[in-house]
Structure 1
């Protein structure tokens, strides 16, 4: 190795070692740490006293459980219904997985007397439906297809468990 490189390495090593041996700075830091350790510590106040909670007694053991159907109400409505109910055994169509507010009527196709409505789904599928097809989460069935709207009827359960018809319309959207 050449003597110039040896001198350069020696100078670098000495300057690195000189940076590690700063005693006055180290003593200054130790003095600050000692001061912090001996400084009086703060005092944490005790938690406030909270009033004792009022323990309520449950006195409704003899009452009907609100989470089970009322048998007397069910018996009163049994047989007095309109006879409407959805066919739960039929296979559900693709369009029944979305609510009507998520579906869009985009147009209609007609060939002779047969007319079909084009329904756009949230996942951008365009599906053709005809009168009698089902769509929507509430057991909706297409009743009529007009050039600017699709009329359907849904079956909705009321508070007594009876099924009621509700007319709905999907209007043409762009």
Structure 2
């Protein structure tokens, strides 16, 4: 019973206190609102007329679809025909063993010299190959041009973005063995 009285007082007391904030100051606020309504002017801005849509006819029905991958092939073929560099790899020659691996997977681990012929020792995984000047190496038609004590100089033939073949010089450096 006492709990019920406490609950009742908690609900009724705030309502009673709020009712004391009666209407004696409301008339002032209502007069001010009437004055503002009378003195205010409503301005309605007319929206501008929408732009007129002018359809453009598609006249390329007989042309190649611009989203078709064959369009890129046509452009590359045209650029290849116009190419003036004359550089291109020999596609008819027989591939060598070290051309099956990209250069970043190859390690030069040493050199050997027999009968004044210097050969580089190149390791792929756990297999070691011998290569001499004139051998091909790497996936980009790389030709070994020089074998020094600590590096192999390679001339690669690569295709640029326009499809033209260009030469690029790179090196494969001797890897120190870890004992």
Distance 1:135 1:72, change over 3 A: closer
Where do 5+ consecutive residues of structure 2 fail to align? Answer: 1-57
Task: Please say if residues 83 and 164 of structure 2, whose CA atoms lie closer than 8 Å, have aligned partners that are also in contact.
Answer: no
Q: How does 1:9-158 map to 2 (within 5 A)?
A: 63-68=65-70, 69=72, 71=74, 74-76=77-79, 78-122=81-125, 124-158=126-160
Q: CA deviation at 1:104?
A: 0.3
What RMSD, in angstroms, separates the aligned Cα atoms of the two structures?
2.2
| Equivalence for 1:33 | none
Count, aligned residues: 115
After superposition, what is the alpha-carbon deviation per residue over 1:92-146, rounded to whole angstroms, capped at 9, x for unaligned?
1111111100000001111343110000012x11111000101101111100000
Mapped to 2, the partners of 1:104 and 1:72 lie a distance apart of: 38
Where do 5+ consecutive residues of structure 1 fail to align? Answer: 1-58
Mapped to 2, the partners of 1:97 and 1:70 lie a distance apart of: 26
From the CA coordinates, give the structure whose radius of gyration is larger: 2
Distance 1:76 1:120, change over 3 A: closer
| Equivalence for 1:168 | 170
Mapped to 2, the partners of 1:99 and 1:76 lie a distance apart of: 27
Q: CA deviation at 1:88?
A: 1.0
Mapped to 1, the partners of 2:173 and 2:109 lie a distance apart of: 9
Mapped to 2, the partners of 1:65 and 1:87 lie a distance apart of: 33
Mapped to 1, the partners of 2:157 and 2:113 lie a distance apart of: 28
Task: Please say if residues 156 and 169 of structure 2, whose CA atoms lie closer than 8 Å, have aligned partners that are also in contact.
Answer: yes
Q: Give the match's secondary structure for 2:69.
A: coil
Q: Give the match's secondary structure for 1:101.
A: helix
